[in-house]
């Protein structure tokens, strides 16, 4: 709100930072194993439908609100109605749930960037991953390193930290991913993986798989916790429209998910390894492949570097929401906010990291702490945040107060989505997925 508020340096910078938030582990780690576990092509279809309806309209709505109010999510919702400030607080709480476990996986990836070089053929990668992830100290060290790197970038601020980093990382990531995909598609039997990825299995389409697909959209596109309100709040006032800045979010997010699917599945199929391995898919199955193809270790290194870059641009957005809140509402300096929030995440993340080893006995409903956090964030907190955002903007404020498209027809479609389609779909899928309906 004040003139001293930092801002992005260029239009491209906002576009890449916002897309960087969306493109992350959700696309390259979570999407392939969720697709495998939820029926391949039919999951993909629901994912795409949700992405273009709920995802797209929420990205635009959030960003438009942020660009209008130019403050953190609590002020943004408070501007709509003082009673709605709590939605902004929910956004910050959600980042407390996601960032710790996200950074635990980030730490694993960082470890694998180095580990690929020590792999030898014939090694039991299942055992390697299990030994690593269930140990106490080693994953914690990498987690600490990863979180510190994230915090450092955020500490440097919007223009010098987040924007600069995203401008380098995003193009690099796309190029590397395409190179890797082409290499993998040249493997024997790669085509079987492509077929699995695209062929729908409608018998697997249940309330639960639909909830998972919607959860995947929220997680992958980063909607439902005020990321785009926060990023939008740093856009300088000028003639740029929301759509001009935010279209890469959705396009790149879907593109990278598709590229990741077209890399992971063909690789998995050509080596006849189990497809529904869950979160460990990329840590167990892929290394197996990397050690057996020419220059495989190099491609493996490349894969984990891509993953690391994608993860980092997302973690910084998760941290930035909380930091912006602490600066705007609690009047902290950026430095104090970064340090305090990182220490909080460090504490929670330590428990999450240990939930694979020492604390693995601690389960709720058969899920360890890590799975609980993932379920709570993606399937409950983010859809709830998304639903409340739709109600706040569609019903309390009115979509006509936020001009997303200059074109009347598109603006009408946007209104329809935010007012009716997105909230109705969120509620239906939530209730069905939780077996209430």
Give every CB contact of residue 424 below 8 A, 6+ residues apart in sequence: none
Cα(158)–Cα(161) distance, rounded to whole angstroms?
6
Give every CB contact of residue 82 below 8 A, 6+ residues apart in sequence: none
- Give the CA distances from residue 89 to residues 59, 261, 322, 381, 384, in Å, rounded to whole numbers and listed in that order: 19, 35, 9, 12, 13
Q: By CB under 6 A, which span of 131-139, 163-171, 215-223, 393-401 interacts with ligand TRP?
A: 215-223
Q: Is 22 in the site for ligand TRP (CB under 6 A)?
A: yes
Q: Is 54 in the site for ligand TRP (CB under 6 A)?
A: no
Binds ligand TRP by CB under 6 A, chosen from 14, 18, 19, 25:
25
Q: Report in angstroms how near the CB of residue 222 gets to ligand TRP at its nearest.
A: 3
Neighbour-count burial of 1, counting CB atoms closer than 10 A to its CB (0-12 exposed, 13-18 middle, 19+ buried): exposed
Residue with tokens 């890469």: 248
Q: Is 220 in the site for ligand TRP (CB under 6 A)?
A: yes
Q: Is 384 in the site for ligand TRP (CB under 6 A)?
A: no
Q: By CB under 6 A, which span of 194-202, 280-288, 314-322, 367-375 interacts with ligand TRP?
A: 314-322
- Among 283, 276, 292, 237, which residue's Cα sits nearest to residue 70? 237
Q: Report in angstroms how near the CB of residue 28 gets to ligand TRP at its nearest.
A: 8
Q: By CB under 6 A, which span of 18-26, 166-174, 289-297, 362-370 interacts with ligand TRP?
A: 18-26
Q: Show the site string, 223-262: x = touches ligand TRP by CB under 6 A, - = not.
A: --x-x-----------------------------------
- Closer Cβ to ligand TRP, 17 or 84, answer by number: 17
- Closer Cβ to ligand TRP, 50 or 128, answer by number: 50
* Cβ–Cβ under 8 Å, residues 39 and 204: yes
Q: By CB under 6 A, which span of 197-205, 214-222, 294-302, 335-343 interacts with ligand TRP?
A: 214-222
- Closer Cβ to ligand TRP, 233 or 270, answer by number: 233
Q: Is 314 in the site for ligand TRP (CB under 6 A)?
A: yes
- Closer Cβ to ligand TRP, 38 or 288, answer by number: 38
- Give the CA distances from residue 1 to residues 237, 317, 408, in Å, rounded to whole numbers and listed in that order: 11, 20, 29
Cα(25)–Cα(233) distance, rounded to whole angstroms?
25
Q: Is 98 in the site for ligand TRP (CB under 6 A)?
A: yes
Q: Report in angstroms how near the CB of residue 237 gets to ligand TRP at its nearest.
A: 25
- Give the CA distances from residue 172 to residues 247, 258, 388, in Å, rounded to whole numbers and listed in that order: 19, 17, 36
* Cβ–Cβ under 8 Å, residues 191 and 266: yes
Which sign does the torsion angle of CA 290, 296, 301, 303 carry? negative
Q: Is 216 in the site for ligand TRP (CB under 6 A)?
A: no
Phi, psi (rounded to 5 degrees) for 71: -155, -175
Binds ligand TRP by CB under 6 A, chosen from 57, 222, 329, 389:
222
Q: Is 35 in the site for ligand TRP (CB under 6 A)?
A: no
DSSP, res 225: S
* Cβ–Cβ under 8 Å, residues 95 and 344: no
Q: Report in angstroms how near the CB of residue 94 gets to ligand TRP at its nearest.
A: 7
- Among 402, 426, 430, which residue's Cα sits nearest to residue 415? 402
Q: Which two tokens stand for residue 239?
A: 């003639």
Q: Is 24 in the site for ligand TRP (CB under 6 A)?
A: yes
Three-state DSSP at 368 gives strand
Binds ligand TRP by CB under 6 A, chosen from 210, 235, 318, 397:
318
- Among 2, 8, 77, which residue's Cα sits nearest to residue 238? 8
Q: By CB under 6 A, which span of 33-41, 220-228, 279-287, 343-351 interacts with ligand TRP?
A: 220-228
Q: Report in angstroms how near the CB of residue 361 gets to ligand TRP at its nearest.
A: 29
Q: Report in angstroms how near the CB of residue 253 gets to ligand TRP at its nearest.
A: 7
Containing 363, the helix (H) or strand (E) segment is strand 363-364
Binds ligand TRP by CB under 6 A, chosen from 33, 219, 325, 387:
219
Q: Is 42 in the site for ligand TRP (CB under 6 A)?
A: no
Q: Is 317 in the site for ligand TRP (CB under 6 A)?
A: yes
Site residues for ligand TRP per CB under 6 A: 21-22, 24-27, 98, 219-220, 222, 225, 227, 314, 317-318, 382
């Amino acid at each position: 709100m004040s003139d001293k508020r930092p801002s992005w340096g260029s239009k491209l910078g906002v576009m890449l930072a916002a897309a960087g938030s969306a493109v992350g582990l959700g696309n390259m780690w979570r999407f392939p194993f969720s697709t495998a576990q939820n029926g391949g092509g039919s999951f993909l279809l629901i994912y795409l439908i949700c992405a273009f309806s709920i995802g797209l309209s929420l990205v635009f709505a959030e960003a438009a609100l942020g660009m209008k109010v130019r403050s953190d999510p609590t002020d943004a919702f408070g501007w709509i109605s003082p009673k709605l400030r709590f939605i902004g607080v929910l956004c910050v709480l959600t980042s407390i749930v996601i960032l710790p476990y996200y950074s635990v996986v980030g730490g694993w990836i960082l470890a694998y960037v180095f580990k690929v070089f020590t792999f030898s053929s014939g090694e039991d990668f299942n055992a390697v991953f299990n030994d690593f992830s269930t140990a106490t100290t080693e994953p914690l060290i990498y987690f600490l390193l990863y979180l510190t790197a994230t915090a450092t970038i955020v500490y440097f601020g919007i223009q010098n930290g987040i924007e600069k980093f995203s401008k380098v990382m995003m193009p690099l990531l796309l190029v590397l991913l395409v190179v890797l995909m082409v290499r993998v598609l040249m493997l024997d039997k790669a085509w079987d993986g492509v077929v699995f990825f695209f062929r729908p299995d409608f018998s697997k389409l249940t309330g639960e798989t639909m909830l998972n697909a919607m959860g995947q959209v929220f997680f992958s596109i980063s909607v439902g916790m005020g990321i785009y309100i926060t990023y939008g709040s740093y856009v300088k006032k000028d003639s740029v429209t929301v759509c001009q800045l935010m279209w890469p979010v959705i396009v790149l997010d879907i593109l990278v998910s598709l590229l990741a699917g077209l890399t992971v599945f063909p690789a998995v199929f050509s080596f006849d390894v189990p497809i529904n391995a869950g979160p460990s898919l990329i840590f167990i199955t892929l290394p197996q492949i990397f050690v057996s193809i020419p220059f495989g270790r190099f491609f493996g290194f490349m894969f984990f570097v891509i993953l690391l870059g994608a993860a980092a641009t997302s973690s910084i957005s998760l941290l930035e929401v909380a930091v912006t809140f602490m600066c705007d509402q609690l009047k902290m300096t950026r430095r104090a906010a970064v340090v305090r929030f990182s220490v909080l995440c460090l504490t929670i993340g330590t428990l999450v990291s240990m939930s694979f080893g020492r604390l693995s006995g601690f389960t709720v409903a058969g899920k360890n702490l890590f799975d609980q956090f993932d379920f709570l964030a993606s399937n409950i907190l983010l859809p709830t945040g998304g639903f409340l955002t739709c109600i706040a903007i569609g019903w309390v404020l009115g979509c006509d107060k936020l001009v997303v498209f200059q074109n009347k027809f598109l603006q009408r479609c946007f209104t329809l989505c935010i007012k009716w389609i997105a909230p109705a779909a969120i509620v239906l899928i939530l209730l069905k997925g939780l077996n209430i309906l």
